[in-house]
Amino acid sequence: METVAAIPKYNLTEDQEKRLILREYRALLRSLKPKLKAGDKEHIRDAFEMAAEAHKTMRRKSGEPYILHPLAVSRICVEEIGLGVRSTICALLHDVVEDTDITLEDIERDFGSEISRIVDGLTKISNVIDVNASQQAENFKKILLTLTDDPRVILIKLADRLHNMRTLDSMKREKQLKIASETVYVFAPLAHRMGLYNIKTELEDLAMKYLEPEEYKEIARKLAETKRERSRYINEFIKPLREQMELAQFDFEIHGRPKSIHSIWTKMRKKGVSFEEVYDLFAIRIIINSPPETEKADCWKVYSIITDEYTPSPERLRDWLSNPKSNGYEALHTTVMGPQGKWVEIQIRSKRMNEIAEKGLAAHWKYKEGASDESRFDDWFHQIREVLTMEDNDSINFLQDFKTSFLAEEIYVYTPKGDVKMLPLGSTALDFAFSIHSKIGEQCIGAKVNHKLVPISHKLRSGDQVEIITSSKQRPTEDWINYVVTAKAKSKVKDALREEKRKIADEGKYMVQKKLENFGAAYNQHNTETLVNYYKLNSSLDFFYQVAVKNIDLKELKEFQLLGDRIEPPKPAKTQIETKPEINFTPSPRKDTELIIFGESSDKIVYTLANCCKPIPGDDVFGFVTTGKGLTIHRTNCPNATRLLSNYGHRVVKTKWAKNKEISFLTGVRIIGLDDVGVINKITNLISGELRININALTVEAKEGLFEGSIKVYVHDKEELEELVRRLKQLNGIHSVDRFDTEVNEPTK
C-alpha cells in the first residue's frame, strides 16, 4: 500500500500538497468502491471535509499536513482489515474531538449516534497515553468496555497505531522507545487476539526496529542474503506437492513466505541458537478453494498428500480445524522433514479460513450467517465484560492481568461431563475452578487431571480433563495470588482475602478501642488516623489488622500526649529512624561513573544501575525515575523495559553514556562447548592473558562430553565485551558464547 511515509524529505509546495491529499482521498474511494451504496460517497466526502477543515493548520512531526494521517488510517481499515463505510467515516474523524474544536455533539448531529459513539471510544483510547498508571488502567478499562460494545473501536485504533509505527522515524528517540514498547506490550497482542496476524506481525517487526535496532538490521540483512537460496529450496519442496494436488484436481494456490524478523529473533533468544540454526525461517501456505461443507475434509486430504511425500513431526501437528481459536482462526499446521534434512512448516487453509486469518474479526462477521462457532468471539467478549464490571480497586495491575488473561494463547480443557472450557495458556487447576464458579474456586483443595490427583497450582495443558475437589473448610490464602493467571480468579481471590482481612481487622478494632479508652482518649476518626499515620500504614483496615495479628501492640501509646480526648504523637516520632535506609538507595556520586542525561539539564546526575538487566557502558539504555530510588538505568532490551515504557512513559529520561575507560563493570558470559582436555586453560589464558580482562568468578559443569561454563568478568564497556565474545567463539570446540546478567553490577575502580 502506498502511504505518505514514502516521502523521504518533506518539502512540497502548497499545490503539490493539495494534489497529494486528493490522490490519497481518491485511492481511499477506489478501495471502498465494492462496498459503496447510494449516499455513502456523500457521507464520506462530508467526513473528509470536516476532518480536512478541522486539521488544516496542523502538521505531523515529519512536516506533512495532518489530514494525510486520518486518510492513511482509513485506507488501512479498508484495504488491510476489510472494514466498510461507517468505519471509514470514524477513521477520518478519529482525532478531531481530541485535537480540534469539533465536539461529539457536532459529529452526532452530522453522522448519527453510532459513529459518534465509536469516535468517543477512539478519543478515550488516545487519552490512555502519558497519564499516571492507575489513570491509564482506568482508561484502558473504558476502552475495553467500548470494545465489547463495538469492536470497530479497537480495529480502527490498531490501524491508527500501525500508521504511527510506519511513520515513527520523525519522532524523538525517547518517544520512539515509548511508542514501540506500548505497541509490543498491548497493541500487537490485541491485534493477534483480533485475528489480524499480518498487522500483529508488522507491529512487532516495526517495534523491534526501534527497540532492538542492531539485531533487527542483522536479521533483515541475513534474510536478504539468503533469499535466492531460500526461493530455490521452496520451489524444490513445492514441486512434488503441486503435482500431486493437481492430480487430485484441487483448485489451490501454494507459496512460501519468510517468517517475520521478530519471530525469528524470538526463536533465536528462546532456543539460544544463531540465525543459521533457526530451521524454519519460512512457512509454506496452501490455500484451497473449497465450499464450506467440504473444506475441513479437503484440508485433511491435502495433509495426507503432504505426509505421503514428506515425513511429519507428530508433536508439531496443530489442528485448529476441529477446535478454532477464540479469534476465529482456523487452519491445519504441520511440520515435515524436507530435502537436505530441513524442517518445514506447512499451513493448510481454505479461502474462507485464509480471509479470516488475514482480516480477522472483520472477515469473521462476513461469514457469520450460519456459523456454528461464532460464539467463540462472543464468549471472549463476555469474559472481558465480566472482569471489567467486577469491583476491584487495584487498577495498577489491571493491564498486566488483562494481558495474561485475554491476550495470551488459549488452551482447551474439559469438565468431567465433557464440556469444553477455554483458558489462557499457563492456567492452573485453580483458574479452572474459578472459571466454573467463584464458590468452587474458593473451596478448591485439589484436582484430578486425567484421573490423577494434582495440587491446585498444577498447570493445565490443552486436552486435559479436570475434576475439581472442594472442601467447605477451605479458605483462600495469600499464596493463591501466585497460583492463578486469569483476571477473574485473581479478582475473586483478592476479594476473598479482603473479606478475611476485614473479619480479623474487626477484632483489632475492638482492641484499639479498649486501649484508647484505658488511656483516657476517645475512639474516634482523628485518633485512629493519628495512629495509622504514626505506624506509616495505608489505611485503618491495615492498622486494625496488624493490631489483631499482634504485629503492633500499641505499647508506644503511653508516649503520646493527651489533649482532652485527642491524642498527639510524641516528638520526634520514634519511627523516623526506620526511614533512614532509604538514603542508601542512591549511590554516592562517583566522579567518573555518571551517565550524561539529556533532559532538564545536561549536568552529571546520580543514578543506580537496574538489577534486572545489568547495563554496561555502550548498551542502548534509558533512565527511569523510580519512587524512592531516584534515577535507575535500564537497557532498552531489559525484560521489564516494555512494561515500564508503556505504563509509565512520563517517567522516562533520555540517557547516554559518558566515555570513560577508568571504570570496570561486572558482567558475565555463558559458554557451551566440547569437554576437551585443556579447554578451560585456553579460555582463561585468552581472557586474563591475551585480553587482560579481570575474572571475578568462574564455574564450569561438564556432563556427557559437553561443558557449560559461566564466567563473571570486569569490562569497561560493550565493545570490550563484544570483542571477548568474538574471540571466545574462535576457540576450537566452543559451540556458543552468550552474555548473561550477573547478580551484582557495581561500578568499581
Nearest to 459 by CA among 432, 422, 495: 432
| Residue 328 backbone class (left: φ over 0; alpha: ψ -120 to 50; beta: rest) | left
If one counts every other C-beta atom within 10 angstroms of the C-beta of residue 515, the result is: 17
CA distances from 613 to 62, 569, 699, 749 (A): 34, 43, 21, 21
DSSP one-letter string for 206-271: HHHHHHSHHHHHHHHHHHHHTHHHHHHHHHHHHHHHHHHHHHTT--EEEEEEEPPHHHHHHHHHHH
- Locate 545 and state its grid cell: 489488622
- Please tell me the predicted confidence (pLDDT) of residue 681: 85
Residues in CB range of 372: below 8 A, 6 or more apart = none
Specify the pairing of strand 252-258 against strand 282-288: antiparallel
* Domains (range + CATH), the chain: 4-211 (1.10.3210.10), 220-366 (3.30.460.10), 376-494 (3.10.20.30), 583-657 (no CATH), 665-740 (3.30.70.260)
Question: To 10 degrees, the CA torsion angle through 537, 538, 544, 545?
Answer: -90
Distance CA 680, CA 66 (A): 62
Instruction: Judge whether 99 counts as a catalytic residue.
Output: yes
473: cell is 473448610
pLDDT for 601 equals: 43
How many helices and strands (H and E) does the chain possess? Answer: 29, 22
458 and 429 in contact (C-beta within 8 Å)? Answer: yes
Helix H or strand E segment including 656: strand 652-657
The predicted pLDDT at position 348 comes to 94
C-alpha dist (Å) from residue 661 to 178, 615, 747: 31, 16, 12
Confidence at residue 379, expressed as pLDDT on a 0 to 100 scale:
63
> Other CB atoms closer than 10 Å to residue 166's CB: what's the count?
18
Quote the pLDDT of residue 350.
Answer: 93
Cβ pair 265, 215 in contact under 8 A: yes
Q: Based on the residue annotation, tell me whether 98 is a catalytic residue of this protein.
A: yes
Look at residue 203 in the predicted model and tell me its pLDDT: 93
| Alpha-carbon dihedral angle through residues 193, 197, 199, 200, given to the nearest 10 degrees | 60
Q: How far is CA 480 from CA 434, 435, 447, 495, 534, in A?
A: 12, 15, 15, 12, 31
User: Catalytic one among 17, 40, 98, 675?
Assistant: 98
Neighbour tally for 400: CB within 10 Å: 15
List 99, 138, 500, 708, catalytic entry: 99
Q: Is the pTM of this model over 0.85?
A: no
Closest alpha carbon to 715 in 679, 669, 670: 669
Q: Could you list the mean pLDDT of each consecutive 10-residue stretch along the chain, which spans 749 residues?
A: 41 81 90 86 90 86 87 91 88 85 87 85 58 49 59 84 90 84 81 82 92 89 86 90 92 87 84 75 89 92 93 87 80 90 90 82 52 52 62 52 63 82 87 91 90 90 88 86 86 85 85 82 83 81 84 79 79 40 32 46 65 82 77 83 74 74 80 83 86 86 84 86 89 84 47
Residue 747 burial (CB count, 10 A) = 19
List C-alpha distances in Å: 536 to 176, 542, 630: 40, 10, 21
Edge-to-edge strand ranges of the sheet holding 452-454: 452-454, 444-449, 466-470
**Spatial separation of the C-alpha atoms in residues 28 and 22, rounded to whole Å:** 10
Q: What angle in degrees, to the nearest 10, is found between the helix axes of 227-247 and 213-225?
A: 60
110-113-115-120 Cα dihedral, nearest 10 degrees: 110
**How high is the pLDDT of residue 573?**
42
Confirm if 728 and 671 have CB atoms less than 8 A apart: yes
DSSP alpha helices (H): ranges in 127-168? 133-149, 152-166
Task: Determine the pLDDT at residue 568.
Answer: 81
Amino acid 544 reads F
- Which among 118, 131, 195 has a CA at the least distance from the CA of 160? 118
- Report whether 159 contacts 81 (CB < 8 A): yes
Closest to 477 in 3D by CA, of 504, 492, 497, 462: 497
